[in-house]
Homo-oligomer: A and B are copies of this chain.
Amino acid sequence: MPRVSDMKERLTDAALDLMWENSYGTTSVDAICERADAKKGSFYYFFKSKSALTAAALEAEWNKNKANMDALFSPTIPPLERFDRYFDYVHDRLAELEKECGSTLGCPLLSIGSEVSTHDKVVRDTVDRILDRKVKYFESAIRDAHAQGFIVAPDPEAKAKALFACYHGTLAQARIQNDLELLRDFKQVAKDVLGVKRAAIASSS
């Protein structure tokens, strides 16, 4: 088997970077090729369309992040702490990206998914699948928290979906308003959604 090329990865990386920073629609195949230092021919050797490349890019990103997610949501960590760590992690990553590109980027799954969902089944199904996987981390943390008596959550799946949606909404707002600070208060919002008993709140006015 001759030649081993990293072109495929260069292309998916380039595509995700550009689409995350801008959008699916404004990211042209030419621009992806330029950033990946590829030519058109290589692009269409590996991917049959821009849409297929996008789906592949999202899957690749997921694979890169999976180990990280597994660690953040490790059953060895107290369940409610998993959320705090996860929210911190996302915040820090977005802060890094903000330094690089000057904008608060939010979640690529959400922005690309929302942009494309009504007219691109391939990408939409991919986004759906990945979101499902992510929500499972929430779900099992919630189930553990319930079992350990930290919260009351007889329906962990519904709770997980609700919290997930709230978090992504906050990420979307942060992107639109270009303001990472909107994520700051989310840990408390999460506790409200989860129904964690409030301890001493009435300290500040």
Asked if A175 contacts B114 (CB within 8 A), the reply is yes
Chain B residues whose C-beta falls within 8 Å of the C-beta of A202 in the assembled complex: 152, 154
- Minimum CB–CB distance from A105 to chain B (whole Å) comes to 8
Asked if A182 contacts B205 (CB within 8 A), the reply is no
Q: Give the complex CA separation of A61 and B127 in angstroms.
A: 29
Smallest Cβ-Cβ distance to A170: which chain B residue? B165
Closest 6 CB pairs of A and B: A169-B169, A25-B25, A166-B166, A165-B170, A113-B176, A165-B169
- Minimum CB–CB distance from A197 to chain B (whole Å) comes to 12
Q: What 1/0 mask marks residues of chain A from 46 to 85 whose CB sits below 8 Å from any chain B CB?
A: 0000000000000000000000000000000000000000
27 contacts between A and B (CB under 8 A): A21-B118, A23-B118, A23-B119, A24-B25, A25-B26, A110-B114, A111-B115, A113-B176, A114-B115, A115-B115, A117-B175, A127-B176, A131-B177, A154-B205, A155-B204, A161-B182, A162-B185, A165-B166, A165-B169, A165-B173, A165-B189, A166-B189, A168-B169, A168-B172, A168-B173, A172-B172, A192-B195
Which of the listed residues A25, A165, A167, A193 has the most CB atoms from chain B within 10 Å of its own CB?
A: A165
| Residue A94 at the chain B interface, CB threshold 8 Å | no
Asked if B114 contacts A106 (CB within 8 A), the reply is yes
| Residue A178 at the chain B interface, CB threshold 8 Å | yes
Smallest Cβ-Cβ distance to A135: which chain B residue? B173
Among A18-47, those with CB < 8 Å from B are: 21-26
- Minimum CB–CB distance from A102 to chain B (whole Å) comes to 9
Among A102-137, those with CB < 8 Å from B are: 103, 105-106, 110-111, 113-119, 124, 127-128, 131
Q: Give the complex CA separation of A205 and B154 in angstroms.
A: 7
Smallest Cβ-Cβ distance to A198: which chain B residue? B195
